Amino acid sequence: LDGDGKNTVTVTYRFPHDRAQLPVTPFVIGNTSGIFRYEYMGLLACFFLEAFLAITGIVLILLSLSVYRLEKGRRMLLQLGLFFLAVGVWNIGENDFSVFVIRNPVLLYMMAFTGLFFVIAPLYGFALNAVPFRWRRLLTAVFYASAALPALALLLQLAGPVMMMQSLFFFHVFHPA
């Protein structure tokens, strides 16, 4: 019962996380503080881990700016920092607890897809700097394409003709592994 004597039911639906089976997730019924406590207990640790990844990425990016003499090491730190930042932003956008912290579903949608789309490019960049490849030009072209395509998807989302969910198909085609 609410304070004014009326019954209130809040329904929270959590998306299934496994594609091999489609379980019916149980409804969580209660007032806002009860649902918050339930979500808080289950997802807070994951949220802090994701925030830690994003902060670690920012720290690595800042560290890469301070390394002057080792150009290769600087690029590797930068790519590793960009990777951590992208993974952290992606997972914060996907975490159900984030709805309680960031009360902007559009921002969470953009964080989830932008982080997902930008995860691959830093890995290619790190590999380019860490491993001597025989066909370096091919991997360099894939690196630049994997950095440009997410920017294009973001631009198309902001301009309006294509939603990021629709461009996810092209992301999977371009990165089959």
Q: What is the pLDDT of residues 37-57, one digit of tens each?
A: 776 777 888 889 999 999 999
pLDDT: which is higher, 98 or 19: 98
Report percent pLDDT > 70 for the chain: 85
Q: 97 vs 46, 72, 103, 155, CA distance in Å? A: 9, 38, 10, 28
pLDDT digits (tens, 9 = 90+) for 114-124: 899 999 999 99
Q: 18 vs 15, 24, 25, 119, 164, CA distance in Å? A: 9, 12, 12, 21, 21
pLDDT digits (tens, 9 = 90+) for 72-90: 888 899 999 999 999 999 9
- Alpha carbon distance 70, 37 (integer Å): 48
